[in-house]
Amino acid sequence: DVKVTQSSRYLVKRTGEKVFLECVQDMDHENMFWYRQDPGLGLRLIYFSYDVKMKEKGDIPEGYSVSREKKERFSLILESASTNQTSMYLCASSLRTGLSYEQYFGPGTRLTVT
Amino acid sequence: AQSVSQHNHHVILSEAASLELGCNYSYGGTVNLFWYVQYPGQHLQLLLKYFSGDPLVKGIKGFEAEFIKSKFSFNLRKPSVQWSDTAEYFCAVNRAGGSYIPTFGRGTSLIVHP
């Protein structure tokens, strides 16, 4: 089974702090994604990576950056956390080839910025 | 840009009732279609998918969905819901053979009363 793990289930940070969210997948997937999930808004794509050191902005990249130094690991960075970044953050991975590109999700990190 | 609409944001049913959740998308070309489910406290997981062939797709836990190309729809159905089906349901679409970044609907929260 594909496994996607995230470094923390719950995180509380103060405004202005630098925050690192880590994601690791064990199925050699090329694609990795970071989403935020907010009630009534569904999943919104923050950043996407299709290969090591490659990244593309999603729909809401402002205030975030990412890093992918190894194929299995994709990090989301909040340079200076703000209260409006309080949310559930989901990491996902998928194959780059194949028929349907279904995604596999991690358990999520619920981040609270105070 | 493609978009995905889920018509029902909140659905409340009693056990044994039938379920149909609507999903419509805007892209006119060939698509891959997905329904994902998020049970309370659990990670998002694939319920079923369509990428070609029989437009009636069967998934886990007795769910099925029908792809109607002429209506740009991929509605999720279950003839008799259970309390354990209480969850959030997301429809997602991506262009077949093209982008591996899906577009998600905003989700439908389903509550099933015992």
Q: What is the CATH number of domain B4-113?
A: 2.60.40.10
Contacts within 8 Å (CB) and 24+ apart, A58-63: A58/A33, A58/A34, A58/B101, A60/A36
Structural domain boundaries in chain B: 4-113
Longest CA–CA span in chain A (Å) reads: 43
Quick one: pLDDT at residue B27? 84
The chain B residue lying nearest A46, using CA atoms, is B101
Report pLDDT digits (tens) over A29-59: 999 999 999 988 999 999 999 999 999 999 9
A55 interfacial to chain B (CB closer than 8 Å): no
Closest-CA residue to B91 (of B113, B108, B67): B108
| CB < 8 Å from B in window 58-97 of A | 58, 90, 92, 94, 96
User: With an 8 Å Cβ cutoff, are B102 and A41 in contact?
Assistant: no
A53: left (phi over 0), alpha (psi -120 to 50) or beta: left
**CA pair distance B51, A25, nearest whole angstrom:** 24
Nearest by CB to A99, which of B44, B51, B101? B51
**CA pair distance A4, B53, nearest whole angstrom:** 30
CATH code of the domain in which A23 resides: 2.60.40.10
Nearest by CB to B104, which of A43, A48, A108? A43
A51 interfacial to chain B (CB closer than 8 Å): no
What's the domain range around A90? Answer: 4-98+106-113
Question: Which string of b and e fits A74-112 if b means at least 16 CB within 10 Å?
Answer: bbbebeebeeebbbebbbbbbbeeeebbbbbbbbbbebe
A16 interfacial to chain B (CB closer than 8 Å): no
**CA pair distance B107, B71, nearest whole angstrom:** 20
% of chain B with per-residue pLDDT over 90:
78
Closest-CA residue to A71 (of A103, A34, A36, A27): A27
Report pLDDT digits (tens) over B9-62: 999 999 999 999 999 999 878 889 999 999 998 999 999 999 889 999 999 999
Number of compact structural domains in chain A: 1
